[in-house]
A = this chain, B = another copy of it.
Amino acid sequence: MIVAGLSPGSKEFAESLASASGFGLIHAEGKVFPDGEVYVRVEGDVEHTVIVVQTMSRPQDTSIIQAMLLADALRGLRARRIILVSPYTAYARQDKRFLPGEPISIAVILRSLYTAGYNEYYTIEIHKEEALSAFPGSAVSIYPYYYMASKAGIGGDHLILAPDIGALRRAERLARSLGAQYDYLVKRRDRVTGEITVEPKHLNVKGRKVVIVDDIISTGGTVSKAARLLLDQGAESVEVLVAHAVLAGNALEKLKGSGVRRVVAGNTLPRVDDPLVEYVDLAPLVSDSLSI
């Protein structure tokens, strides 16, 4: 059975997962006390195996604490196998000590979720898959791009671009599945003006339908700048395919101003109601990945 969590975006995902999987669905109850503490409760009997859907949307820390509390509530109800489906994993980018004195935040969060009572963890496209090794139980990151591209009509005639060399394997994997060309963006400094510009390392974008593939759009700064320059270089269109549309601050305005034609995003976070963003429901994909 599925328990719909309380963070923004979780209810919709849980309902879609229930419909795709055929599992029963109940909704966790929740409230916030006047002092700001959160309260959760799961009413009624639960089965041996329970799938909690709780994405780590803003406010992330509360979403994480709620997920922890839900696991304990379910333990108290004698659930024995508790699976967390968190379509978006917060803190995934702090996956190593980039500087001394930093935490490995994602490891802290994953260990806490295990300690709280989850046996298994499913997420969609975590920033780096190695980060999941911190979770002491079984942990899976689901690869969403091929499914999303198919649903969004992105195919072999598109040019798939990684925003930097670090993200090249993501673009390569998708492009190979689609039978499309791929490349990654590099920064170049103009020898005369000193201006920094980005362009594909190997390929020419002139007349091409470009798709930039990334795991997260947060502030949208890098992608917006890249889109503008690719259009300047003659690209027919620039679209963005992204698992997680975080869209912090004025990201949406930046993307609109850059000439991006469409952002295709997973429904891992609450929907932004704007025609630029086209959501692909990833619950059916998660349903296929669950080993229940």
| Chain A positions near chain B (C-beta within 8 angstroms) | 33-44, 58-62, 64-65, 68-73, 76-77, 90-91, 94, 97, 99-105, 107-109, 111-112, 115-116, 218-219, 246, 248-249
Contact residues in B for A102 (Cβ distance below 8 Å): 39-41, 73, 76
Contact residues in B for A103 (Cβ distance below 8 Å): 40, 69-73, 76
Asked if B115 and A34 sit within 8 Å, CB to CB, the answer is no
Closest to A250 in B: B34
Q: Return A9 CB to nearest CB of chain B, in Å.
A: 14
Q: A35-B58, A108-B116 are in contact. List 11 more A-B contacts (CB 8 A).
A: A35-B60, A40-B103, A42-B101, A43-B101, A71-B103, A72-B103, A76-B100, A76-B101, A76-B104, A77-B100, A77-B101
**A120 to B100 Cα, complex, angstroms:** 24
Asked if B101 and A111 sit within 8 Å, CB to CB, the answer is no
Q: Which 7 A-B pairs have the closest CB atoms?
A: A72-B103, A61-B61, A35-B248, A34-B248, A69-B103, A73-B103, A112-B112
Asked if A218 and B35 sit within 8 Å, CB to CB, the answer is yes
Asked if A115 and B105 sit within 8 Å, CB to CB, the answer is no
Contact residues in B for A60 (Cβ distance below 8 Å): 35-37
Contact residues in B for A33 (Cβ distance below 8 Å): 218, 248
Asked if A61 and B58 sit within 8 Å, CB to CB, the answer is no
Closest to A68 in B: B108
Contact residues in B for A246 (Cβ distance below 8 Å): 35
Q: Which of B72, B76, B101 is in CB contact (< 8 Å) with A73?
A: B101
Contact residues in B for A59 (Cβ distance below 8 Å): 36, 59, 61-62
Write 21 A-B pairs (CB below 8 A) sorted by A numbering: A34-B218, A34-B248, A35-B58, A37-B90, A37-B91, A43-B100, A44-B101, A59-B61, A59-B62, A64-B65, A69-B103, A69-B105, A70-B103, A71-B108, A72-B104, A73-B102, A73-B103, A76-B100, A77-B100, A112-B115, A115-B115
Closest to A62 in B: B61
Contact residues in B for A62 (Cβ distance below 8 Å): 59, 61
Contact residues in B for A218 (Cβ distance below 8 Å): 33-35
Closest to A46 in B: B101
Closest to A40 in B: B103
Closest to A92 in B: B37
Asked if B112 and A36 sit within 8 Å, CB to CB, the answer is no
Contact residues in B for A107 (Cβ distance below 8 Å): 72
Asked if B112 and A249 sit within 8 Å, CB to CB, the answer is no
